[in-house]
Amino acid sequence: MSRYSFLFSARWLKYIAMAIIVIIACVFLALWQKDRRDQREQEIATITTNYSAEPVDITSVLSTPNSTLETTDEWTQVELTGSFSDEDTVLARNRTVEDKPGFYVVTPFEITGGSTIAVIRGFTAEQDSVPPAPRGQQTVVAHLRPAQDGSEDENPKGLIKAIDPARIPGMDDAYSHVYVEASPAETGGAPEEGLTPLPMPELDPGNHLSYMLQWFAFGIMIIIAVVISARRERKAAAEAVEHGAVENEMVVIDKAALDAGAKISQPGSRYGRNRWASPTVRGQAEADEDALFEERFRSK
């Protein structure tokens, strides 16, 4: 463990702390995507179960006009009998069907012996060519949807943004937390001439699973990167220590002093020896040193 003692340095502690923060963020985002996927799978299951089921009476789902629609009851088909209040028709703007921008046509529907409910009759791409609602008593098959919040919307006359019963005229004594979408012919509805029926909702689960796996992968990659970096630094430190030990054994030669006749101190020799020279060169050097010594001795 002493080989990794550098991990407790200020620099490495900072790196590790940053890595931990990023890893926690990756795990949090991965779990968030998992929750999104679970919610989407529940939505798909609800659509699959309710969308094409036999129509039921609305009172079997909502006991009172103020009842809130349960998540598991969304897209339930209901059969309504009553009459449209065509003079109160409004258009929900910023809607798209089959990549074509336009409006949802929303008209209050007075249920016989009951309350009023907002009905999306269909889609139109032209604001000025909306057909009038059918007159007289009608039977409508439609899907229940939770109301949207339009309390902050600024709506021009005849237009709405959110489908909020509170923002639709003629909705006195109405279902305040829901509206309905007229069912297409495939599920028992009778689409109006001049309007495009709303398509079945998408059943695509989305990319939540792939995003979840990506965030987990990012977290694992960070852990691997920290481990590899630590191993590389330990290896570099070990090599530096080994290289420093070899350098400590080298003898520093003062070339100027050598030219002046100084001898390199070396254990085992009176005059010094060059430890890196080959045997032949070293022998010749020793002979030259002996001759020089004798000559200097005689001169004295």
pLDDT, tens digit (0-9, with 9 covering 90-100), for 170-218: 888 899 999 999 998 766 677 788 899 998 898 988 899 999 999 999 9
How many alpha carbons lie under 13 Å from residue 42 in its C-beta half-sphere? 11
Share of the chain above pLDDT 70, in %: 79
Q: How far is CA 6 from CA 16, 196, 245, 295, in A?
A: 12, 70, 20, 59
- pTM, to two decimals: 0.68
CA 62 – CA 73 distance, rounded (Å): 10
Q: For 34-73, how does the pLDDT look when each residue is reduced to its tens digit (9 = 90+)?
A: 999 999 999 999 999 999 999 999 999 999 999 999 999 9
- Of the candidates 111, 93, 124, the residue with the CA atom closest to the CA atom of residue 191: 124
Question: Please, which pLDDT band fits residue 290 given cuts at 50, 70 and 90?
Answer: low
CA 177 – CA 196 distance, rounded (Å): 25
